[in-house]
């Protein structure tokens, strides 16, 4: 449970959950991911039997990730500590997880929303619209993207590499799990009015925008590709129709002014399509989005040379149009021209030139991205290199021990030789004295003989 100043309700939520564990015979724990409470929520949670984990980084997503990482169980259920969800109803969630699900979402619209539990703007606009966008963009079947009560396999969720720190964390979990092909299921759950007297942390417009922004950024197809194709189609059709003359629809006449707008739409659409391709390539390489075989085929086909060829052909067409416009101007003795005729030559020519440079630059950029994608693997395998370091360390230790043993043996040998030398000196001492006495006697005898 993420917690930020929930002193009014956190104790109730903890006791309800522990009671559910005891009644169901579940070996579980309650983890309170405290995000800097200043109202004593931490001690109240401990007294109720929870384990409190402090999370320094502020935000709903940061608090939840801190709690998920600290959890000791195989399965993790997350829910707000404001007493709006009944943690005694976690049984169906656990049943689905034991049946093989990776992520089990609650659905408040199927289970029931009590009067006053959700603002009308959230209930009838915010949640339905954002959930629809999520289903449209990512092919998800989840009806309630933002339900705060959900359960999942801890290891499976950690593999997703969730990054967002705010309220959009709820959308990120569903989106990434969907893109990775996880088994996601949904069970009805109820939502009751929370037990707090203060205002909720959720900000309607700010957090709603953060959810929508995340959904768009993780879907280059809907953010760039589809709008780009629509613009290109409208611009191309209108441009071709107006390049030969005015077009009248009822009482409305479309002429060169519309041709300029059609040219702009074509350029914008072409740029958006290129952005979709570049974004997808980058996201695939960085692991933000899963590998897409269709995009890979496009990248493999669209080499730098083909891109330069396409850009060159468009440039030739544009230059040809500019030459034609100069000839048209020459025919008119380089005087004043009728825009209704001259623009039908200049606008398509300028459009082709702009698109030619876009194609060339995009080809160069894709090739730059491909440098890292095609880089050669390292000559040394990391595992082998690590094993070599370990072996070198072991050998170094063995050599040090061997040198220590040799030095110790040498010291012992020197000490033993010293003892033997001392003993030998002691044994040889009397003999030397006797020999000295004998020498002295002999000397005296010689002296006497000499005398």
The pLDDT value recorded for residue 442 is: 45
Q: How confident is the model at residue 378 (pLDDT cuts 50, 70, 90)?
A: low
- Which residues, in sequence order, are bridge partners of residue 151? 77, 104
- Average pLDDT over the chain, rounded to whole? 85
Q: So what's the pLDDT on residue 196?
A: 83
Per-residue confidence band for 445, with pLDDT thresholds at 50, 70 and 90: very low
3-class DSSP assignment, residue 106? strand
pLDDT tens across 253-280, in order?
A: 888 889 999 999 999 999 999 999 888 8
Arithmetic mean of pLDDT, 17-39:
95
Is the pLDDT at 392 greater than 90, yes or no? Answer: no
Please check the confidence at residue 435 and state whether its pLDDT lies above 70.
no
> What was the pLDDT predicted at 203?
82
DSSP-derived 3-state class of residue 303: coil
Give the pLDDT score at 418: 66
Predicted confidence band of residue 4 (pLDDT cuts 50, 70, 90):
very high
Q: Is 236 exposed, middle or buried (0-12, 13-18, 19+ CB in 10 A)?
A: middle
Strand partners, 77: 151
Distance CA 135, CA 126 (A): 14
Residue 287 vs residue 26, higher pLDDT:
26
Portion of the chain with pLDDT greater than 70, in percent: 88
Asked if 245 and 268 touch (Cβ cutoff 8 Å), the reply is: no
Q: Is the pLDDT of residue 345 over 70?
A: yes
From 215-224, 253-262, 284-293, 374-383, the region with the lowest mean pLDDT: 374-383
Mean pLDDT of 212-233: 90
pLDDT at 421: 56
pLDDT digits (tens, 9 = 90+) for 128-159: 999 999 999 999 999 999 999 999 999 999 99
Q: What is the pLDDT of residue 444?
A: 45
| pLDDT for res 289 | 77
- pLDDT greater than 70 at residue 204: yes
Task: For tokens 């500590």, name the residue.
Answer: 81
Give the up-direction half-sphere exposure of residue 237: CA atoms within 13 A in the CB hemisphere. Answer: 6
**pLDDT band at residue 26 under the 50/70/90 scheme:** very high
SS (H, E, C) the chain: CEECCCCCCHHHHHHHHHHHHHHHCCCCCCEEEECCCCCCHHHHHHHHCCEEEECCCCCHHHHHHHHHHHCCCCEEEECCCCCCCCHHHCHHHHHHHHCCCCEEEEEHHHHCECCCCCCHHHHHHHHHHHHHHHHHHHCCCCCCCCCCCEEEEHHHHHCCCCCCCCCCHHHHHHHHHHHCCCCEEEEECCECCCCCCCCCCCCHHHHHHHHHHHHHHCCHHHHHHHHHHHHHHHHHHHHHHHCCCCEEECCEEECHHHHHHHHHHHHHHHHHHHHHHHHHHHHHHHCCCCCCHHHHHHHHHCCHHHHHHHHHHHHHHHHHHHHHHHHHHHHCCCCCCCHHHHHHHHHHHHHHHHHHHHHHHHHHHHHHHHHHHCCCCCCCCHHHHHHHHHHHHHHHHHHHHHHHHHHHHHHHHHHHHHHHHHHHHHHHHHHHHHHHHHHHHHHHHHHHHHC
Query: Average pLDDT for residues 244-252, to the nearest whole number?
Result: 85
pLDDT at 183 over 80: yes
Measured distance CA(159)–CA(163) in Å, rounded:
12
Give the residue-averaged pLDDT of 56-85. 94
Average pLDDT rounded to a whole number, residues 30-36: 96
% of the chain beyond a pLDDT of 90: 53
Going from the N-terminus, what domains does the chain have, and what CATH number goes with each?
2-217 (3.90.550.10), 220-373 (no CATH)
Angle at 315 between CA 313 and CA 319, to 5 degrees: 120
pLDDT higher than 50, residue 446: no
């Amino acid at each position: 449970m993420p917690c930020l100043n929930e002193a009014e309700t956190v104790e109730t939520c903890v006791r309800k959950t522990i009671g559910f564990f005891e009644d169901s015979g579940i070996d579980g724990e309650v983890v309170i991911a405290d995000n800097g409470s200043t109202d004593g929520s931490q001690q109240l949670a401990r007294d109720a039997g929870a384990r409190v984990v402090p999370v320094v980084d502020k935000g709903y997503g940061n608090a939840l990730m801190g709690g998920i990482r600290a959890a000791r169980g195989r399965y993790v259920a997350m829910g707000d500590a404001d007493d709006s969800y009944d943690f005694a109803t976690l049984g169906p969630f656990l049943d689905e997880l034991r049946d093989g699900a990776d992520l089990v979402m609650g659905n408040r619209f199927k289970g029931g929303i009590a009067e006053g539990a959700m603002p009308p703007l959230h209930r009838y606009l915010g949640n339905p619209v954002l959930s629809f966008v999520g289903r449209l963009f990512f092919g998800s079947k989840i009806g309630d993207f933002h339900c705060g009560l959900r359960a999942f396999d801890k290891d499976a969720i950690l593999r997703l590499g969730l990054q967002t720190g705010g309220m959009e964390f709820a959308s990120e979990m569903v989106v990434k799990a969907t893109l990775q092909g996880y088994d996601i299921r949904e069970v009805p759950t109820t939502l009751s009015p929370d037990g707090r007297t203060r205002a909720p942390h959720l900000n309607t417009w700010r957090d709603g925008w953060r959810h929508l922004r995340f959904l768009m950024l993780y879907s280059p197809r809907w953010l760039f590709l589809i709008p780009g194709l629509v613009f290109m189609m409208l611009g191309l059709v209108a441009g071709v129709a107006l390049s030969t003359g005015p077009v009248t629809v009822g009482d409305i006449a479309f002429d060169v002014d519309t041709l300029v707008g059609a040219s702009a739409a074509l350029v914008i659409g072409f740029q958006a399509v290129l952005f979709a391709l570049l974004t997808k390539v980058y996201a695939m390489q960085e692991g933000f989005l899963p590998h897409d075989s269709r995009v890979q085929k496009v990248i493999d086909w669209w080499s730098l040379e083909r891109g330069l060829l396409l850009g060159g052909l468009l440039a030739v067409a544009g230059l040809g149009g500019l030459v034609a416009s100069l000839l048209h101007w020459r025919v008119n003795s380089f005087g004043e021209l009728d825009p209704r005729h001259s623009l039908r030559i200049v606008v398509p020519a300028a459009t082709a030139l702009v698109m030619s440079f876009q194609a060339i630059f995009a080809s160069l950029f894709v090739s730059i991205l491909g440098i890292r994608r095609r880089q050669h693997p390292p000559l040394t395998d990391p595992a082998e290199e690590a094993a070599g370091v370990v072996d070198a360390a072991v050998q170094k230790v063995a050599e040090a021990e061997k040198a220590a043993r040799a030095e110790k043996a040498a010291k012992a040998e020197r000490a033993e030789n010293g003892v033997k030398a001392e003993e030998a000196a002691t044994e040889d001492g009397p003999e030397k004295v006797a020999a000295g006495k004998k020498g002295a006697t002999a000397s005296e005898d010689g002296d006497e003989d000499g005398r």
